[in-house]
Amino acid sequence: MTPSSEIRISDLIIPKFWGVFNDEEHTHKILTSGRAGTKSSEAAIETVFKIVQGVNGCAVVIRKRHNKLRKTVYKEIKRAIKRLSLDERLFKITVSPMEVTFLENGNTIYFTGSDNTDDTKGIIDESKPIRLVMIDEVNEFFEQGEGEDELQNIEATFVRGNDEGFQMLYLYNPPKNPNAPVVQWTRKMEQRPDTIHVHVDYRDVPEAWIGKKLLESAEILRQIDERQWRWLWLGLSIGVDELIYYMFGGKNVARTKEDAFPLIGVGVDYGQQNATTYQAAGLNMAKHRLEGLAEYYHSGRESGTQKSPSRYAEDFVAFLDGLHEAYRCSSFYVFIDPSAAGLAEEIKRAIHGCGYSVRLRDAQNDVALGISRVQKLLTFGMLTVSPEQENARREFGLYEYDRKSIERGREKPVKAEDHCMDAIRYLVMGLWPKLKYYLPAQGKEEENEEAEGTI
């Protein structure tokens, strides 16, 4: 039984992908796009389609990290089975191990991460050759792994014994930086006669497939930040501004009009000689935004006065007392610099017996992801700072990427004038489980990120 007898593949994938779906000439097929380009759908449909054919051969689907498999590519493969109008009872679908086997011929789709070389070597099928290797989010192999060397090792592992019919399928959304290693690798691969590269964007996809809400979200971003739209939605490597929060402007500076907040978040960045800062914002659930309220800022180096962790903890309680009184808030979520264990312990002792609830958590310190989320909130006017947050306002205009790191394709922020920026990033990351639902539309990018927990 095959899907081709019941439906047409051309009804399931966009015309720009028809050629690459049917391609048997090239060993390496690279699919890139912006958001909603449907490349993941094409790859999953192609993978399932190939294992249900009469050809003796299996497929391997790879992400850099094991913990991202189930909610992304594994879920997409199961969705492809339904799109191909195949009954799931025709397959043996398991989670541990994560495999999808077509019962009629025994062909299997294996899922694996690439945390180390043994991950891929351990799934070589001695009885059936691997005909297709699909690698999702290829950029992760350059950001978190060994890049081109790792991809070549994966190819060498599975190409053995496959003189004919073996193919590698690569998927990723291009990063902003045209100097990024994955972009350079793609340019290099394009020079090879055994490689085909197809790039698409949401405009190539029928409106009925992606929905009006997603199209509206794209149009909103195009109107307020066309440059960001070209990267996020068109998948173009537009280049990286040295100024990280170039979108910060007048719309992001406002004194709240609310006199009460059910929830206030505080980001804490700690330094001994460097500055220690507490950045507070209220979650305005009615207006779907995070409104800056107040800041605490003390630099031992600049003031000439050092403070102990216990003294900072006393100041922290006074800071919360002020917010509690001003905004009648009895629920505080505090996200603290994960390297400040000593201060965290002092704060735990200091807040004991307060007349309000304080939940203290280690901040998530993924810098790149945190910056991306702050940028989104700023772009859509969902994050404001109060005029009283003078140091935060100053740093928004100074926080930059190191120029040399941009040229190397691995942009890193300059470690100066960044204490408030770190604290606000901690705050946004901590409250993201609520904030993400306020964005104009929920695209694949958010869906595929790992669950950050609930508040």
Walk along the chain (455 residues) in steps of 10 and give the mean pLDDT of each run.
69 96 96 96 96 88 91 95 95 95 95 77 72 95 93 90 84 95 96 97 95 92 93 94 92 95 97 92 96 95 86 96 96 95 94 92 94 95 96 95 92 93 98 92 47 43
Same fold, 3-206 and 250-441: no
CATH architecture of 250-441: 2-Layer Sandwich (3.30)
pLDDT of residue 120: 66
pLDDT of residue 164: 74
DSSP bridge partners of 134: 61, 169
Exposed e or buried b per residue across 184-196, where buried means at least 16 C-beta atoms within 10 angstroms of its C-beta: ebbeebeeeeebb
> Which pTM value belongs to this model?
0.82
pLDDT of residue 454: 42
Q: Determine contact, residues 336/362, Cβ cutoff 8 Å.
A: yes
The domain made up of 3-206 has a fold known as Rossmann fold (3.40.50)
pLDDT of residue 119: 62
Residue linked to tokens 């394709």:
409
Q: Tell me the domain boundaries of the chain.
A: 3-206, 250-441
| Strand-strand pairing, 91-94 and 99-102 | antiparallel
DSSP annotation string for 393-404: HHHHTT-BB-HH
Where helices occur in 191-308 by DSSP H, the ranges are: 207-210, 212-224, 226-232, 300-303
Among the listed residues 300, 333, 438, the one whose alpha carbon sits nearest the alpha carbon of residue 376: 438
